[in-house]
Amino acid sequence: MSARKEPRGESSTKEQRPEGAAAERLALLHRRFGWTSLFAWMCLGLVLELAHGFKLGGYLLDPLRREFLTLAHFHGALLSVLNLVYVRWAEAPSLGATQRLHASRALVAGTVLMPLGFLLGGIQHYEGDPGLGIFLAPIGALALLYCVLIQLRAAWKPER
């Protein structure tokens, strides 16, 4: 009898493997992306600190540029850490495979677009307004909100 139970267990394991493997791939993606992104945005933070240290006029005497580059660094680093934390939720059983994939893609898109919008908006800007790159920031914010909404709905879903 135990020999018959093992094949059932194996078949149910095989049925769960594709979804489990997809969740593991998403977790790996967020782990790799989070650490890579954190490294890149920390490097920008180091460059900004060096600009302060060497008193570079192009950075210190331009308050709009300084503010937008600081916002890019802050949002980039924070969203990178969020990707690392998201590894835990990438395998959330309350989400279907499609929802999990959509939330993951939205988080990655928001992590790229929002800080990049601040960065581009601050690098080249008009007299009192940010550059055209700033339009990427609200698109990134919408992607992040979409990811949070998917996770929020899954969190309030009644458990079976």
Q: pLDDT for 26-56, tens place per residue?
A: 889 999 999 999 999 999 999 999 999 999 9
Q: pLDDT for 122-157, tens place per residue?
A: 999 998 899 999 999 999 999 999 999 999 998 898
Burial of 21 (0-12, 13-18, 19+ CB in 10 A): exposed
What is the DSSP annotation of 64-131? HHHHHHHHHHHHHHHHHHHHHHHTTTTT-TTS-HHHHHHHHHHHHHHHHHHHHHHHHHHHS--SSS--
Closest of 157, 155, 109, 113 to residue 133, by C-alpha: 113
Domain ranges of the chain: 21-154
Mean pLDDT of the chain: 87
pLDDT of residue 8: 45
Distance of alpha carbon 86 from its chain centroid, rounded?
A: 8
pLDDT of residue 11: 44
Q: Is the per-residue pLDDT at 104 higher than 90? A: yes
